[in-house]
Structure 1
Amino acid sequence: MRHVDVVTIGSAIKDVMFYTNHGELISNKNDLTAQTLLAFEYGAKIEIDELYLNYGGGALNVAVGLKNFGLKVAPLVNIGDDAAGREIFNFLKHKRINTGLVTIDKTHPTGFSYIVSLRSDRDHTIFTYKGASVFLDTSHISHLTADWYYISALSMRFWAKEIDRVIDIKRYRSRKNLTEPKIVWNPGRRQFDESLKMLRILPHIDLLILNKDEAIELVLKVLGRGVERQRINQSRYLLDELRRLEIKNIVITAGARGAYGLDDRGRYYFKASLKRKKVDTVGAGDAFASGFVAAWHQTGRFDRAMEWGIKNSGAELTEVGAQNGLLKGKIK
């Protein structure tokens, strides 16, 4: 049976990215999970200033990032039997990434994301069509063994069952006195919409990665009345509240400010963002995740993982696309 360092699980899609000067940012402080809105004139025809075509999806982005650091990686993704799917498959081959867990869906098309960015601040809003990713099946996951499993946003109806398969691998290795794999989880919209299902999974996860909005949403939804709302924007408070859910290690990314962490020994971490010229923010979270996982895999140190997560996400911001600016080479 073939072995890889990391299996990444989630989506692989095609990204259509465009920039415009015609949007307006609106403050929405009354909604803690949507504090800034991007608005356009209703019914208007909006001119696009720049257009780019790239590949994306959490599993694909993180797989490319890990491969750049020299790890053996295999994305577990479902793509359509169409032009976009063939492009993605050939892209993986070109990158020399293991395609043994890639499935081709004869019925459903490859997913697409349409990404709107303002030229003024280069931040974005994403409209995503998951396509074949909704029908991802992880039943063939045992065709490869791995030291780590990275689970990104899952779109299928029975997403919890798919994660259970990964947890079962961990339990099996424990029973056989084999080295247990680590499980990293960066959940998505479907998971937060069904947040109560997350509660039984979280204690089995070795690392949970969230952005700040996601951390606020999870805390509010599952802890509810016990939350001190006047402190909900404080990242350290969010870490403490999330620890109540029996999560071993937690990282909260906070955009331009940096990232906060809490490890399984109760130690807090903060790593400030690097001052770089921001060209594009798409994929910054995935870049952080791949830098973090690569460094933790290779050094075993949480502080080094935080450092390389920030380095990789900072580098990614300097080029358009979720993978074009990613760092390459060995973790030093």
Structure 2
Amino acid sequence: MTAPQFDVLAIGNAIVDVIAPCEDGFLAEHGLDKGAMALVDTARAETLYGAMGPGREVSGGSAANTCAGLAALGAKCAFIGQVADDQLGQVFAHDIRAAGIHFDTAAHTGDVPTARCLVHVTPDGQRTMNTFLGASQELTARVVDGARIADAAVLYLEGYLWDPDTPRAAMRDAMQAARDAGRKIAFTLSDAFLLDRHGDDFRALIDGGEIDILFANEGEAMALTGTESCEAAIAALAPKLPVLVVTRGENGAVAVTGDERAEVEAEPVQKIVDTTGAGDSFAAGFLAYHVKGRPLAECLTMGAVAAAEIISHYGARPEADLKSLVAQGLG
């Protein structure tokens, strides 16, 4: 098998985040479920945006954030995601390329604007997200380059993008291309709300041996398996997956492969500022070492360090020198 050019190729929503602090009263006033992610239409997005305080615009999207973390750790990455031919689309394309990530998906032309996520951050660091998917839902199978996917050791798929029909078909094509090339497929469940809509799909992928690495937080894992504890969920999922990674917030994370199980505590953080992208960054840290064949415990430690950096500041992409932080964490 030819050595791949990229360590990871990710497919996901191409989103620009608008992040602003708020009080809990703002969430109650606007009927927002604290800590959750909701999909909104154009009218709802405009209402919430108009009510938000001053914010920051930063490129986001779950899988794109993971790519940014991977690139910061020295991994070679590519990203497939759909933006529109508008200002926010140009911002997204500039930011992802500036991070050293290969991105050549042509902009969508038409009336549908680039996706944006309104992120409301309460004083305790919890983020409540309202996402307008816009052009990201226009991702079609025609932009899935089988040769490009075959040129990556791992295909990383974002559960959020499974929701719209058109991107879901494109992701299935990408999975087949990865399988045909003998590459690994990693999948993140993204959010528990998706399991109400696509849980059967996800369980079928797992039962069919279509996923090599599954990332889930404890709530998602329990919802997927219908269990009432994280340990029960791990026991149900681990035998079906080559690699299972379950994050548990302040309680750290667990990874299982075969008969091997590793655990890591959460890295200490002086102050939790914004939890946006913590799971994305954890996946980046884990994968950065996994593609190098490093021990499971070290992969988890790398994920924990990367996640701790993200929650120490606003925004879902690293600001500190991740390589240095990881070296300290593993030391």
TM-score (norm 2): 0.81
CA contact (8 A) 2:141 2:169 kept: no
Q: Secondary structure at the match of 2:55?
A: strand
- Which stretch shifts more, 49-58 or 313-322? 49-58
Confirm whether residue 104 of structure 1 aligns to residue 107 of structure 2. Answer: yes
2:265 is matched with which residue?
272
Q: Which residue, out of 194, 208, 213, partners 2:219?
A: 213
2:43 aligns with none
Question: What amino acid sits opposite 1:238 in the alignment?
Answer: A
Counting only pairs closer than 5 Å after superposition, residues 111-150 of structure 1 correspond to structure 2 as: 111-119=115-123, 121-139=124-142, 140-144=144-148, 145-150=151-156
- How far apart are the structure 2 equivalents of 1:299 and 1:65? 18
- The structure with the largest strand share of the pair is 1
* Cα drift, residue 11 of structure 1: 1.0
Q: Unaligned 5+ residue runs, structure 1? A: 27-33, 174-179, 221-226
Counterpart of 2:203?
Answer: 199
| Map of 1:162 onto structure 2 | 170
> How far did 1:320 drift?
0.8
Distance 2:27 2:95 in 1: 35
Aligned residue number for residue 151 of structure 1: 157
Q: 2:187 aligns with which of 173, 185, 197?
A: 185
Corresponding position: 1:286 with 2:280: yes
Provide the aligned C-alpha RMSD in A. 2.9
TM-score, normalising length: structure 1: 0.81
Aligned to 1:254: 248
Task: Kindly provide the CA deviation profile for residues 179-233 of structure 1, in whole angstroms up to 9, marking residues without a partner as x.
Answer: x21111003457521211223322221110011221121112xxxxxx5xxxx1x
Does 2:67 match 1:63?
A: yes
Q: 1:133 to 1:53 in 2, by over 3 A?
A: same
Task: Give the Å deviation of 1:260.
Answer: 1.6
Alignment partners' CA distance in 1, 2:211 and 2:265? 25
Aligned length: 300
**Contact 2:36 2:128 survives alignment (8 Å):** no
Which is worse superposed, 161-170 or 308-317?
Answer: 161-170
Q: Take 1:37 and 1:317, find their aligned partners in 2: how far apart are those partners?
A: 16
1:65·1:290 contact (CA, 8 Å) conserved in 2?
Answer: yes
Correspondence for 1:223: none
CA-to-aligned-CA distance 1:2-30 (integer Å, 9 cap, x gap): 8322101101211111112343899xxxx
Which structure's residues are more often helix, by fraction?
2
Please state whether the residue corresponding to 2:241 is helix, strand or coil. Answer: coil
Where does structure 2 lack aligned partners over 5 or more consecutive residues?
Answer: 38-46
Tell me the distance in 1 between the aligned counterparts of 2:292 and 2:12: 23
**Does the aligned pair in 2 maintain the 1:148–1:183 contact within 8 Å?**
yes
**Which residue is 2:322 aligned to?**
328
